[in-house]
Amino acid sequence: MRVTVATRRSALALAQSGAVARALAAAGHDAPLLELTTAGDRWSLAGADAAPGLDVKGIFVKELEEALLDGRADIAVHSAKDLPGALPTGLAVIATPPREDPSDVLVGSPGGLDALPQGARVGTTSPRRAAQVRAVRPDVEVVEVRGNVDTRLGKLDAGEVDALVLAAAGLRRLGIDRPDAVVLPLEVCLPAAGQGIVAIEGRDDDAQVRAACAPFDDPGAHACLRAERAFLARLGGGCSVAAGALCEVDGAALRIRAWWEGTGRFADLDGTVADAAALGARAAEEVGAP
């Protein structure tokens, strides 16, 4: 069958959607890519003062979801951390391949945050990363650095910043190996909900497409995503919320660690795969969700 795959045009998005399309093709399906530019892509490439007041919830996925709803695409492939807390009616995450490393990495300072000089400029567009970096190193200057991974690394190499905080998964999927990169411990930088997970989104009632994507679903990664997204939804936010959550699976058991800048509180809870969403919601309440 034909399964049209909606994707952003960035190198990372194409690497992720291309992997899904190749897996579908290997299973005997025709899987062409529908490449789209999102509001998030336009914002990322614009100047710092562009689009004042822009609601950043879902800005990297909206156009892909519109293609699903109007029938131009059958699935959309996302970095799960880009998904807003609530999906449009009629859409669902129908599969999640195995999770890549969910960690954040500091690029430009092999000795980690402690090795940065006083007043160093650390680049990120993430409120979550900015808050956690400042908690450890209040003396550094966190500056907004937009663009795709290559663009941001180019700004680092040009000396515009002293270090960058990036997702380990993105670097790995792009095949980028930087000797000046170091993983940030979870105690220092808890990742975004869904970080390291590729989410395959489709129409909730499309049984054929669900069946075509089912072989690529990793039940453990999917359960962790349900828990982490429930945490995010209970907080009422998406990628703009300064909050982190990481769920780990061991058989039928789950453990979630979570943090929210709003209260500065942490949660560390155990639960089961069957109750993943309830566990995530409970973690949000533990950190003080209103």
User: Any idea what the CATH number is for the domain that residue 267 is in?
Assistant: 3.30.160.40
Radius of gyration of the chain from its Cα atoms, rounded to whole angstroms = 19
| 87 and 204 both lie in a single domain | yes
Instruction: Let me know whether 288 and 158 are in one domain.
Output: no
CATH number of the CATH domain containing 88: 3.40.190.10
Q: What is the dihedral of CA 201, 206, 211, 216, to 10 degrees?
A: 0
DSSP secondary structure string, 4-69? -EEEESSHHHHHHHHHHHHHHHHTT-B--EEEE--HHHHHHHS-TTSSTT---TTTTTHHHHHHHH
- pLDDT per position as a tens digit, 104-132: 999 999 999 999 999 999 999 899 999 99
| Same domain assignment for residues 48 and 33 | yes
Residues 87 and 129 grouped into a single domain: no
Q: What is the mean pLDDT of residues 27-50?
A: 80
Q: Tell me, yes or no, whether 269 and 130 share the same domain.
A: no
pLDDT, residue 18, reads 98
Assess contact for 222 and 101: CB atoms under 8 A: no
pLDDT digits (tens, 9 = 90+) for 215-253: 999 999 999 999 999 999 999 865 567 999 999 999 999
Is the domain of 2 the same as that of 85?
Answer: yes
Quick: pLDDT tens for 82-98. Answer: 998 889 999 999 999 99
80 and 92 share one domain? yes
**Structural domain contains residue 191:** no
Report helix, strand and coil shares of the chain as percent, to nearest 5. Answer: 35, 25, 40
pLDDT at 25 over 80: yes
Q: What domain count does the chain have?
A: 3
Determine the structural domain holding residue 290 and report its residue range.
Answer: 218-290
Residues with catalytic function? 82
Average pLDDT over residues 186-204: 97
